[in-house]
Amino acid sequence: MDVLWLSRLQFAVATHFHFLFVPLTLGLGLLVAIMETIYVRSGDESYKRMAKFWGKIFLINFGVGVVTGITLEFQFGTNWAGYSKYVGDIFGSLLAIEATLSFFLESTFIAIWVFGWKRLSPKVHCACIWLVAGAAILSAYWILVANAWMQHPVGYVVRGGRAELADFWQVVSQPFAILTWLHTTFAGYIVGGFFVMGVSAYHLLRKSHTDFFTKSFRIALVFALIFSILEVVVGDLHGRAMAEAQPAKLAAVEAQWETARGVPFSMLVIPDEANERNIVEAFQIPKFMSFLVYHDWNAEVKGLKEWPKDERPPVTSVFWSFRFMVGLGFLFPILTLIGWYYRNRLESAPWFLKTMMYAIPLPYIASGLGWFVTEVGRQPWIVYGVMKTSDAVSNIAGSQVAISLAAFILLYSLLGLTAFILIAKIAGKGPAEPAPAVTGPQG
């Protein structure tokens, strides 16, 4: 059995399962903080119930995300020993900061938030959930800086056959890392916003807890509208940064084989990778790809033939994944703008509520496609231009990886099924009824 292929498959399985819970954790964390802030400022108890209700789903996502994130990091030692030995000085330090700073801050204050409803003042309790949301954002930053370094390695030197950290500030502040962080974080906010809108739409269609879910929908609508528009802007900036840092990935994303100037943008392409050409190129906009990437109608775009065959990423899968991701990215602001139009009369537009209910998976799919483009489009490099994936794998038997892969799939299937059932049960049931007002004895 091929150790490299099995190790890549195992890491992909673990990563994609972990990432089912991360974006919703990011989005719900900030939304719950906003809801509790409205409660503290207004004194309206419905927003307190709102924070508690959505907070339950947030806690499930947080818990599963932590468990799967820990097992994911173990694989750097078990399956990717070559990688850990070569770049562990850089990559390991970033993950260590994330664990000792962000994760402990997040886990400490989430415990205080859970058990502090009756023990803390409303303002102090609200501050706790803001610290949790902030720590989640900070945690994402350190992890994405580590990933961005793999995509665009900077601030290092090679000594004694291994990469060593030379400029910590350059690693953590490079624009590519910041754009990666913003792009991924905003995607999480869109996931959170669409999840809240979708669940709220389900209850509004059933005329269940109408006032509660109308308010929830409106908060999530504004939230998702803002970040879906910002995501388009950041996505454009991130795409240009990718073109500068990873020109081979850009060529694969656009199925561009020949180096040329004033390159047209093709909506439909069928690549023929074996013969290094495209069988079909349809719906072209002249010079538009050059303009999209470099904001210059006559800019040069390098073709895949500039690189040896063994240094080119897969083309067909990366091309279509990118197209579907971008299509969904433009769909989200359209849906939220329609929602803004109907925000004061949601129940009069059942077709829109049904659309939003069924749209819950779409941001997840867009995020998954984005990570597919990011990781598969970097191949054959595990650290772009520095270390190939084939040199990073551990010297272990393929049977060992196959057994652990089967165990991962079985365990994660059970864990995921349990988590999704719990989330569906809580979301479908709705919030607890408000406690009746306590009155004194009559007499």
**Is 368 in a helix, a strand, or coil?**
helix
C-alpha 189/C-alpha 329 separation (Å) is 13
User: How far apart, in Å, are the Cα atoms of 156 and each of 91, 166, 172, 393?
Assistant: 11, 5, 12, 21
Q: Output the CA–CA distances (angstroms, integers) from residue 294 to 243, 250, 256, in the order listed.
A: 8, 12, 15
User: What is the SS3 assignment for 92?
Assistant: helix
Of 133, 234, 243, which Cα lies nearest the Cα of 182? Answer: 234
The kind and range of the H/E element at 327 are: helix 316-341
Helix, strand, or coil here: 383?
strand
195-200 contact pairs (CB < 8 A, 24+): 195/24, 195/27, 195/28, 195/220, 195/360, 195/363, 196/28, 196/31, 196/54, 196/220, 196/223, 197/221, 197/224, 197/339, 197/356, 197/359, 198/356, 198/357, 198/358, 198/359, 198/360, 199/360, 199/427
Q: Copy the structure tokens of residue 279.
A: 């069988």
CB 370 within 8 A of CB 272: no
Token duo for residue 284:
């072209």
pLDDT in tens, the chain (443 residues): 688 888 888 888 888 888 888 889 899 999 999 999 999 998 888 889 999 999 999 988 888 888 787 777 778 778 888 888 888 888 888 888 887 888 888 888 888 988 988 888 989 999 999 999 998 899 889 889 988 988 999 988 888 888 888 888 999 899 999 999 999 999 999 999 999 999 999 999 998 888 888 999 999 999 999 999 999 999 889 888 888 888 899 888 888 888 888 888 887 888 878 777 888 777 788 888 888 888 888 888 888 888 888 888 888 888 889 889 999 999 999 999 999 999 888 888 899 999 999 999 999 999 989 989 988 888 898 888 888 888 888 888 878 888 888 888 888 888 888 888 998 998 888 887 765 544 444 43
How far, in Å, CA of 345 to CA of 347, rounded? Answer: 6
Please state whether the predicted TM-score (pTM) of the whole model is above 0.85.
yes
